A = this chain, B = another copy of it.
């Protein structure tokens, strides 16, 4: 069956995020005041799997082998049919 895994990858808490700081500055220059700003990447992966659990495990393996850097990132996988 086909499942879509929504994989969210973000920096671990406490990691410096210069991109987020740059965006916050750019927003401030446009007159937008923000208290904090953080970023994440999302991948929607559609794959064939025997069960939602199998799709979840496959998506987690993708994170570990390619999508996320376990030293600096945390990831979250949500599977929908």
Contact = CB atoms under 8 A, between A and B. Distances in A.
B48 A23 contact: no
B67 A35 contact: no
Interface residues of A, number: 30
Interface string A17-56: 0001001001100101111111111111111100000000
User: What is the total number of copies of this protein in its complex?
Assistant: 2
B8 A34 contact: no
A12 interface: no
A46 B36 contact: yes
A65 B28 CA distance: 12
A26 B27 CA distance: 35
B23 A66 contact: yes
